[in-house]
Chain A
Amino acid sequence: MSKDHLGELEELILLMIVMLKDDAYGLAIRRILKDQTNRVITIGAVHGTVNRLEKKGYIESSMGGATDLRGGRRKRIFKITASGKSALQKSRDLKVNLWQQIPDLSIDVAK
């Protein structure tokens, strides 16, 4: 697996981080993932994935935003990096390109 390869869950979570803007932390990502895609994964899995993404350099993190609800503990807020954006772009382009090569597939599937 090449270093800039983006896994399916990684891609989804990267998108969610973009959607959440300034409030992208572990539990929020899990929540929005559930709302948007109906996929339920454990918080541990979310942390595992963002950890991988950070290692690949697609996101960066900072600590902040302690609330009572967290017993005064800070969150790790994630932000997409330039290389993260380009990776997303690349992934979308790749898929669009592929889809364009098989224009009839959707009709076949519908049948």
Chain B
Amino acid sequence: MDPSKYQLPKAVQRLLGFFCKGDFLEEILGDLEEYHFELEEYPRWQRPFLFWFQAINFIRPYSIREFIDRQRIIYLLLLSNYLKTSIRTLRRNPLSSFINVLGLTIAIGMCVTIYAFLSHDFRIDQFHENKDQIYLTTLELEQNGQLVKYGHSPIILGTTLHDDMGEISKFSRVSKEQTVVKYRDNVHYEEILFVDGAFLEMFSFPLKWGVSRELNDDSSIILSHDMSHKYFGYENPIGQEIEVNMGSEMVKFRIAGVASPFPISHALKFDFLINISNAFKYDLRTSEWGEMIDGTFLQIVDPNDVSTVLLGLKNYITNYNEGVSDNRIESFGLQQFSGLHFASRQLKNELSHDNYYEGRVTLPIAAVLILALACFNYINIAIASAARRLKEIGLRKVIGADKRLIISQFMTEHLVVTAFALILGVLFSLLVILPWFNSLSGIKLAISITDPLFWVCILSVLIVTSLISGVYPSIYIAKFEPDKIFKGTLKFGKNSLITKILLGAQFVIACNAIHTAVVFTQNKEYQNTRSWGYNPNDIVYIRTSSPEEINWITEYAKNSDVITAFTGTQHQLGINKDSVMVQFDTSSIELDVFRLSGQFVDMAEIEIVNGANFSDDSYKQVLVNELLYQRLGELGEFSFSGNSYVVVGVVRDFHNLNFYSAIKPSVILNTPVEDSRYISMKCEEGKSTEFFADLNTSWLEQFPATPFIAGHQEDVWGQFYDQIDIMEEYNDILATITVLIAGMGLYSLIVFNTLARQKEFSIKKIMGAKLSDLAIDVIKRYSMLAIIAMIVGAPMTYFLVKKNLDILFKYAQSVTIGSVILAIVILLSLLLLVIATQVRKISRTNPAEGLKVES
């Protein structure tokens, strides 16, 4: 070993450097380094132990330095003195302290909440041990000239791949089915997940009771914790039998397991698990390439094999495309499960979802802006209030405080404020914002105090806000020269550029927040009044599953005197539909297919703008919506999915889904009576609620074993309006907070500035200035600033709010100049209100008092 190259480990140097006296250090380290070479006679593994043993042995009473030397004691005393003065200053200026602490508290509270949200978002499905080894097969279709990725796959892809490729250690197909589940008197429609036996081995869903291996047995069923609770309460249901409707018959399954509650951050979940072989056994599914399921998961242990599997997947494209008539695919692909949640925005699939995109984008921005507002307030108030502390600073400097000490004094003061706000902020978040956010969003967000990352984030927020808001005022104040302070010749920057810029930025941010609130309130109105394209009022629908039920409901409706129209359909508008791909010239487009009926079109008042309603029962006639008609150009022949139809009419575009989604080119087909799955009934105006309740009771008497699935057509996307209300509430509160913080900052700034000019105003008053002149004087100071801020802010907020709405809605209130102006007017009136309070104060004070004040 070349002795000149060796370096003692940094850790040793630092450790001994910290503990040992300086004059010992050189010989100690020298000896250690020499000792290192002596160590070569020992076995390699022993060396570090011996070395560190020797190193630590240097820390002995004789070598330890004095940690508290005299200078340090003085410094500590000084610090405690700073703490004392900090608290005194805070108490002497209750207004500015209150504004600072409140602003920072709210801002930090928001940050904590957003931390909770993001940590939930980023943990979704990350608890699965094999998350990096599991892949979802994807397929790509060409749609409207673009490649679109889907997560579903042919039912036999999993088995074929597993047989053909050794790289795939396990696989599980996943298929969701809605069906009836019955245990004694409990009958409900439930979602059953058909999976392969390896599902529970691949995914980390531990069982609370039972054995996961039994999933291989096709007569076993595994329940989620919630479902076990729903059907069996707290008792252990293992071994009990539960009935599941498998198409034509109720089949008994033995409960073999109950899952532990899922972690909160999950996307993939199940209510009931049964082996997918049941789907073939009861003829729900066939083994063909064209038969699709919701997803196929593969487990590939060695990451190097992924490319091999990807390559291998290419061989099956032909197999697949030969098996289907349309929807030909371009390629197969793989999506790693750990990234599925974030990929779900682009990858259409039923198993995972990404509902948090908007939150992920907008929440951090909101948090940063509010934090910035609070910091700006602090900076402005600190600078403005420095005028009252000039003498203190001067005195300190004269006694011998240097710049560094003054800076550390003000930084201490600031740290006290921030730390105080931090504690309040965390409490505020835990007690107020998080519960509010949870009740709005329905997510169960929580902060775990034991999470080290949380503390890291909290501390970094503390440090960053302290630095941003504390450094500039401290340096600014420390610069004052004592002789000028005492002579009174200090040019005190009431109009400092930074103050102006910060105030301007506050105007802009506040303007944005108000504008967002204004637009979202307008948008709520717009959404509530926007037409669905049909009239959902007074229509009651009920789901039926057998001819007896249809017969019974038909009789029931006939005997009822409030029913004015009655029809059976295969689909229910707003609940389900079919999607097919249709080739138009060069590109294929996705078509929504609704199997309704002529009576339903009449009943729901879907307006026919061209042609006529269905005229016969041949089921060869179709109605198309305006969007599709634009492509077709004329009534007449139209074929898709291998059948040819005659377009007899054009209906006005109607909304199937809510206003988040775009209307697609759509086709309405007639339903043969025997295919009816839903019965729709139009009631006399205002009678539907009563009718619905009666129907419910009669149904339960008649069919105790079948769940009553029915509803009002108006409610098919009832949640949508709730969500819009939530959004409005959320934006209103955000705007209120923003305006509150900005307003408080502005208020205190104006208070300080008028205080500083008290003498000037008093003299002016004595000389005969009118109140209006004084008011104009105060307004003038801020008018230019406000104007510039508006010029910057207006286009910015116009653009941002538009972007925000575009992300959320396909059909939304358009952002107009009017709403921008309204926001500006609200902001300006707030500004005037604040100024008015101060002018009022000036008018009330006796000029003699104002002159006596020692500034």
**Chain A positions near chain B (C-beta within 8 angstroms):** 25-27, 31, 42-45, 47-48, 51-52, 63, 66-71, 73-76
Smallest CB-CB A-B distances: 6 pairs:
A73-B30, A44-B57, A70-B30, A42-B57, A76-B27, A44-B58
Knowing A44-B60, A51-B62, the reply to whether A69 touches B31 (Cβ < 8 A) is: no
The verdict on B54 contacting chain A, using a C-beta distance below 8 Å, is yes
Residue of A nearest to B25 (CB): A73
Name the one of A25, A63, A66 contacting B31, with C-beta atoms under 8 angstroms. A25
Q: Are B54 and A42 in contact (CB under 8 A)?
A: yes
A47 near B34 (CB under 8 angstroms)? no
Measured CA separation A72–B62 after assembly (Å): 24
A43 to B6, CA, bound (A): 20
| B36 (CB) vs chain A CBs: closest residue | A69
Question: Which residue of B27, B38, B59 contacts A73 across the interface (Cβ within 8 Å)?
Answer: B27
Distance to closest chain B CB from A75 (angstroms): 6
Cβ-neighbour of B35 out of A27, A48, A51, A52 (below 8 A): A27
Query: In this assembly, does B537 line the interface, its C-beta being within 8 Å of a C-beta of chain A?
Result: no
17 A-B pairs within 8 Å (CB atoms) are namely A25-B31, A26-B28, A27-B31, A42-B54, A43-B28, A47-B60, A47-B62, A68-B4, A69-B34, A71-B6, A71-B7, A71-B29, A71-B30, A71-B33, A74-B26, A75-B27, A76-B27
C-alpha gap A32/B53 in the complex (Å): 20
The chain A residue sitting closest to B28, CB to CB, is: A47
Interface residues of B (CB under 8 A from A): 3-4, 6-8, 24, 26-35, 37-38, 53-54, 57-60, 62-63
Taking the closest CB of chain B, its distance from the CB of A5, in whole angstroms, is 18
Residue from A26, A31, A45, A70 whose CB has the most chain B CB atoms within 10 Å: A70
Q: Are B3 and A69 in contact (CB under 8 A)?
A: yes
Report Cα–Cα, A76/B28, bound state, in Å.
Answer: 9
In the complex, how many angstroms separate the beta carbon of B10 from the nearest chain A beta carbon? Answer: 13
Q: Nearest chain A CB to B690's CB is how many angstroms away?
A: 93
Q: With A and B bound together, what is the CA distance between A73 and B36 in angstroms?
A: 14
A52 to B3, CA, bound (A): 32
**Residues in chain A near residue B28, CB distance under 8 A:** 26, 43, 47
Of B26, B31, B37, the contact of A43 (CB 8 Å cutoff): B31
In the complex the two chains form, what is the Cα distance from A48 to B54 in whole Å? 13
Closest to A31 in B: B38
Is B33's CB under 8 angstroms from A70's CB? yes
What residues of A have a CB within 8 angstroms of the CB of B24 in the complex?
47
- In the bound complex, residues from chain B placing their C-beta under 8 Å from that of A26 are 27-28, 31
- A51: chain B residues at CB < 8 Å are 62-63
Contact B30 A74 (CB under 8 A): yes
From B62, which residue of chain A is reached at the shortest CB distance? A51
Q: Which residue of B lies closest to A44 (CB)?
A: B57
Interface of A is mostly: helix
What CA separation (Å) do A45 and B63 show in the bound complex?
11
Chain B residues with Cβ below 8 Å from A47 are 24, 27-28, 31, 58, 60, 62-63
Separation in Å of the B54 CB from the closest CB of chain A? 5
Check B35–A71 contact: CB distance below 8 A. Answer: no
> Of A42, A44, A45, A75, which is within 8 A of B30 by CB?
A75
Complex Cα–Cα for A52 and B61 (A): 11
Q: Which residue of A lies closest to B37 (CB)?
A: A69
In this complex, the member of B31, B53, B60 whose beta carbon has the largest number of chain A beta carbons within 10 angstroms is B31
A61 to B533, CA, bound (A): 100
CB neighbours of B60 from chain A (8 A): 44, 47-48
Cβ-defined partner of B33 (8 Å) among A25, A42, A73? A73
- In the complex, the answer to whether B57 meets A43 with C-beta atoms within 8 Å is yes
**Which residues of chain A have C-beta atoms less than 8 A from B26's C-beta?**
63, 73-74
Which residues from B are CB-within-8-Å of A76? Answer: 27
Closest-CB distance, A89 to chain B (whole angstroms): 27
Contact of A25 among B8, B27, B53, B62 (CB under 8 A): B27
Taking the nearest CB of chain B, how far is it from the CB of A106, in angstroms?
A: 37
Residue contact B37 to A42, C-beta cutoff 8 Å: no
Q: CA separation between A71 and B8, bound complex, in Å? A: 8
B residues within 8 A CB of A68?
A: 3-4
Please name 16 further chain A to chain B contacts, defined as beta carbons within 8 Å, in addition to the given A47-B28, A71-B33, sorted by A numbering. Answer: A26-B27, A26-B28, A27-B31, A27-B35, A42-B57, A43-B57, A44-B54, A45-B57, A47-B27, A47-B31, A47-B60, A48-B60, A48-B63, A52-B62, A69-B3, A70-B30
A73-B54 in contact given A27-B35, A44-B60 (Cβ < 8 Å): no
Q: How far is the CA of A87 from the CA of B236 in the complex (A)?
A: 86
Query: Smallest Cβ distance from A96 to chain B, in angstroms?
Result: 32
CA distance A111 to B32 in the complex (A): 46
**Closest approach, in angstroms, between the C-beta of B6 and any C-beta of chain A?**
7
Report the minimum CB–CB distance from A45 to chain B (whole Å).
7
Between B30, B32, B57, the greatest number of chain A beta carbons within 10 A of the residue's beta carbon is seen for: B30
Query: Which residue of chain A lies nearest to B56 when distances are taken between CB atoms in the complex?
Result: A44
Q: What is the CA–CA distance of A31 and B62 in the complex, to the nearest angstrom?
A: 22
Question: Which residue among A26, A44, A69 has the maximum number of chain B CB atoms within 10 Å of its CB?
Answer: A44
Contacts known (A48-B60, A51-B62, A71-B6); A43 close to B30, Cβ less than 8 A: no
Closest CB in chain B relative to A55 CB, distance in Å: 9
CA distance A44 to B30 in the complex (A): 12
Give A71 to B7 CA distance when docked, in angstroms. 7
Inter-chain CA distance A44–B56, complex, in Å, is 8
Residues of the B chain whose Cβ atoms lie less than 8 Å from the Cβ of A44: 54, 57-60, 63
Give the distance in Å from the alpha carbon of A27 to the alpha carbon of B57 in the complex: 13
Complex Cα distance, B58 from A70, in Å, reads 17
A69-B53 in contact (CB<8A): no
Cα of A31 to Cα of B38 in the assembled complex, Å: 10
Distance (Å) between the CB of A84 and the closest chain B CB?
18
**Residues of chain B contacted by A48 (CB below 8 angstroms):** 60, 62-63
Given A26-B27, A75-B27, check contact A70 B34 (CB 8 Å): yes
Give the chain B neighbours of A73 by CB distance below 8 A.
26-27, 29-30, 33
Q: Which residue of B lies closest to A71 (CB)?
A: B33
Q: How far is the CB of A90 from chain B (nearest CB, A)?
A: 25
Q: In the complex, which residues of chain B have a beta carbon less than 8 angstroms from the beta carbon of A42?
A: 53-54, 57
Chain A residues within 8 Å of B32, by CB? 43
Report chain B residues within 8 Å CB of A70: 30-31, 33-34
CA distance A53 to B37 in the complex (A): 28
A52 to B6, CA, bound (A): 32
Q: Closest Cβ of chain A: how far from B23's Cβ, in Å?
A: 9
State A74–B31 Cα separation when bound (angstroms). Answer: 9
